[in-house]
């Protein structure tokens, strides 16, 4: 084989990373490209934790959550001498292409690596935050949403049983996609996210009328980026006179066996990534728009602000007022 590709995962783990790595390796091999796995993310690229793909190394990838290739951030990668060390690790193995499964920071790191050594890469978007510009979907989102939905449904059972309010904090850093979609699909009464200005006085008036009409419990969803979990609990206790408890879902949202949707999207992204490298494209990020797989150059993705769908924003605004 004259070509070889190394596949790595980087950044926060997300369900779908493993199936994407599996499919990318299999499709590369069928295409006459020798596949390698890089373990431990950028750190493994520097330290030479790079291995030819074998049957044993693909075992369990299809149905396991997280990333079996593991992930690690590396400050060393931003020093030229360590990037050169990483390049030598690839050159010695005859690897002339890279596939990175991760988020915006991972793509920017590989773009800097390309600028130094002209090793082309294809990026597969994988982050539960769903905050990569240019694509409507990132691997891991569906699995995460289902974990959140199950958690909220269970918490609502307790809310009903004890006439309580529960404030549930989702992940998302500065992006409210998970909170918004979870609030809508779980029937939450309040949703606070960075993308929508909220009015607690208006929320209080709306819910007081509902409480007078017989409401005895409620669910509030907050994105971690608004930093309102504890405050909202106290506010509900004081303003609505309803016993409120906070549940921070935390890292449970990252794990779990990938859903069918995430597995299928992983396959589609992986095939597209290999095909883009075969066709001679460099520094392309795979995208999903209006039901179609495509790609965008890294310059159109890195550092840009994600755009939330208008429909989701419009549906959530009443929950913030």
Q: 256: helix, coil or strand?
A: coil
Written as one string, the DSSP assignment of 112-161 is HHHHHH---EEEEEB-TT---TT-S--BTHHHHHHHHHHHHHHHHHHHHH
> Cα(163)–Cα(257) distance, rounded to whole angstroms?
33
Written as one string, the DSSP assignment of 30-99 is HTTEEEEEE-SHHHHHHHT-EEE--HHHHTTTTT--S-TT-----GGGGSHHHHHHHHHHHHHTT--EEE
Q: Is residue 35 a contact partner of residue 7, using CB atoms and an 8 Å limit? A: yes
Q: Respond yes or no: is residue 129 known to be catalytic.
A: yes
Rounded to the nearest 10 degrees, the angle between the axes of helix 177-186 and helix 141-162 is 50
- Which residue is it, tokens 């004081």? 238
> Cα(248)–Cα(183) distance, rounded to whole angstroms?
15
Q: Are strands 292-297 and 284-289 parallel, antiparallel or unpaired?
A: antiparallel
Q: Which of 97, 121, 125, 101 is nearest to 110 (CA)?
A: 121
Identified catalytic residue from 129, 131, 142, 262: 129
Residues belonging to the chain: 321
Catalytic residue list: 129
């Amino acid at each position: 084989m004259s070509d070889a590709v190394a596949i790595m995962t980087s950044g926060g783990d997300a369900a779908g990373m493993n199936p994407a790595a599996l499919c990318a390796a299999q499709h590369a091999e069928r295409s006459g490209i020798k596949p390698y796995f890089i373990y431990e993310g950028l750190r493994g690229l520097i330290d030479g934790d790079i291995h030819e793909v074998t049957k044993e190394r693909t075992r369990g990838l299809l149905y396991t959550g997280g990333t079996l290739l593991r992930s690690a951030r590396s400050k060393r990668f931003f020093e030229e001498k360590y990037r050169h060390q990483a390049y030598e690790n690839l050159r010695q193995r005859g690897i002339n292409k890279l596939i990175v499964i991760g988020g915006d920071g991972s793509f920017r790191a590989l773009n800097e690596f390309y600028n130094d050594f002209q090793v082309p890469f294809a990026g597969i978007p994988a982050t539960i935050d769903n905050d990569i510009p240019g694509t409507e979907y990132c691997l891991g989102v569906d699995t995460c949403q289902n974990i959140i939905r199950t958690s909220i449904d269970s918490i609502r059972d307790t809310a009903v049983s004890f006439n309580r309010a529960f404030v549930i904090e989702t992940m998302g850093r500065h992006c409210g996609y998970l909170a918004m979609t979870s609030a809508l699909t779980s029937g939450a009464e309040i949703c606070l996210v960075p993308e929508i200005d909220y009015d607690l006085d208006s929320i209080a008036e709306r819910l007081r009328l509902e409480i007078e009409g017989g409401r005895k419990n409620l669910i509030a969803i907050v994105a971690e980026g608004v930093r309102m979990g504890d405050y909202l609990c106290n506010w509900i206790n004081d303003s609505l006179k309803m016993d409120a408890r906070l549940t921070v879902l935390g890292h449970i949202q990252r794990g779990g066996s990938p859903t069918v949707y995430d597995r299928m999207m992983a396959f589609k992204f992986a095939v597209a990534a290999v095909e883009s490298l075969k066709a001679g494209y460099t520094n392309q990020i795979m995208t999903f728009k209006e039901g179609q797989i495509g790609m965008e150059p890294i310059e159109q993705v890195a550092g840009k602000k994600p755009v939330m769908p208008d429909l989701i924003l419009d549906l959530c605004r009443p929950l913030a007022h």
